[in-house]
Amino acid sequence: MAPHYAVAKYIRDPLRQEPVNVGVLLWANGQVLTRFLGESDAGFRIGGLSRLFNDWKVYEQWVDYWRTSISRPSVYDPATKKEVDPRNPAFVEYLVRSSRENFVVWDGGEVWDVGTDSPRDVLNYLYALLVSTGGYEEALRVQEVASTEEGEPEQRLVEEVALELSKLQLLETENADLLQPPHPVKRAYRVKGKSGLEHEVDFAQRNGKLYVMQTADLTWRYKDWAKDHAGFVAFLFNDFRAQHGPKRVEAVSLVRLDGLEDHRVKYAWEILSSESKVFVWSKQEERDRFFQRVKTVAFKEKRRRQR
């Protein structure tokens, strides 16, 4: 049986319905594994995350409730009037029904193509993809660490883009020199969204507007995660627009692509195309257009308002 997962979500304002993923629960091989935002071996270390919650102690109580529920031999479900085994993936239905306005559980379904990955590896991958601020890129790093495949991994797209931008002297360096443009591209740039979270984008520029650029590897190797990746990128872009204004944010997706034959890849492409300007990295003419766009922003003088 394929592993089954669920996502714990926090909704700060039920009226606005803008949930934030705070944890993952995984049913696999007769056991239930969990991982929640802010937890460590020493307990909860909320730190700066306290700004996310109206009361983070309530969040801690919900995590304790979820953990206690899955640790019991059985739990009585008033809806079905039956005892439910928490180790059975069907137990997620009970957790969904026990959700309240601010804390809910969403049934994610089954996880396929896990290969020889252990349940813990699968849990860490899902957490990196769905909860951590690093999102898809961190999930891929988790996957590469867990992978037992031989051979050198293909150079990550974000590294390849950074190298080309550096060659063109468009990437910001620690020691700025005369060759650096007035508005260089910043790598691993942190931007706050309307959700209250500070996201790290692959690349960004500021010149009157906020220009955010995110890489997306949609090749066959990553086709199983294409939809999730595209959805994550779309969430980032929309979060930035909600915070800074739609006319103040320009979003770009840099995509590595083998083709659109696979329905998952095609759907991911449609998501990215609807939320950003897409450039296919494998096509030289599109690369050139992207670099020209970056150069224009890098050297363009910011317009000043006329009094």
Q: What is the pLDDT of residues 153-182, one digit of tens each?
A: 445 788 889 989 988 889 987 765 556 788
pTM for the model stands at 0.52
Task: Tell me: do 132 and 186 sit in the same domain.
Answer: no
Task: Tell me: do 138 and 18 sit in the same domain.
Answer: yes
Structural domains of the chain, count: 2
Backbone angles phi, psi at 106, to 5 degrees: -115, 130
In a domain, 39, yes or no: yes
In a domain, 185, yes or no: yes
**Quick one: how far is CA 193 from the chain centroid?**
13
Q: What is the mean pLDDT of residues 90-116?
A: 86
In a domain, 151, yes or no: no
What are 195's two structure tokens?
């959700």
**Maximum Cα–Cα distance across the chain:** 74
pLDDT of residue 288: 94
Q: Is residue 245 very low, low, confident or very high in pLDDT (cuts 50, 70, 90)?
A: very high
Residue 44 has pLDDT above 70, yes or no: no
Of 89, 123, 146, which residue sits at a domain end? Answer: 146
pLDDT of residue 254: 95
Q: What is the mean pLDDT of residues 38-44?
A: 60
Task: Tell me: do 74 and 168 sit in the same domain.
Answer: no
Task: Tell me: do 127 and 196 sit in the same domain.
Answer: no
Range of the domain at 225: 157-299
pLDDT of residue 2: 87
C-alpha–C-alpha distance, residues 126 and 111, integer Å: 9
Burial class from Cβ neighbours inside 10 Å (0-12, 13-18, 19+) for residue 46 reads middle
pLDDT tens by residue, 113-140: 777 778 888 888 888 888 865 544 444 4
Task: Tell me: do 162 and 134 sit in the same domain.
Answer: no
Of 146, 173, 194, which residue sits at a domain end? Answer: 146
Of 115, 146, 177, which residue sits at a domain end? Answer: 146
- DSSP string over 115-145: TT--HHHHHHHHHHHHTSTTHHHHHHHHHHH
What are 216's two structure tokens?
């997306």
pLDDT of residue 138: 46
CATH number at residue 169: 3.40.1350
From residue 191, give the alpha-carbon distance in Å to each of 146, 195, 197, 231: 30, 11, 8, 18
C-alpha–C-alpha distance, residues 250 and 195, integer Å: 18
Task: Tell me: do 136 and 174 sit in the same domain.
Answer: no
Residue 112 has pLDDT above 50, yes or no: yes
Task: Tell me: do 205 and 293 sit in the same domain.
Answer: yes
Q: Which of 90-94, 112-116, 157-161, 286-290 has the highest mean pLDDT?
A: 286-290
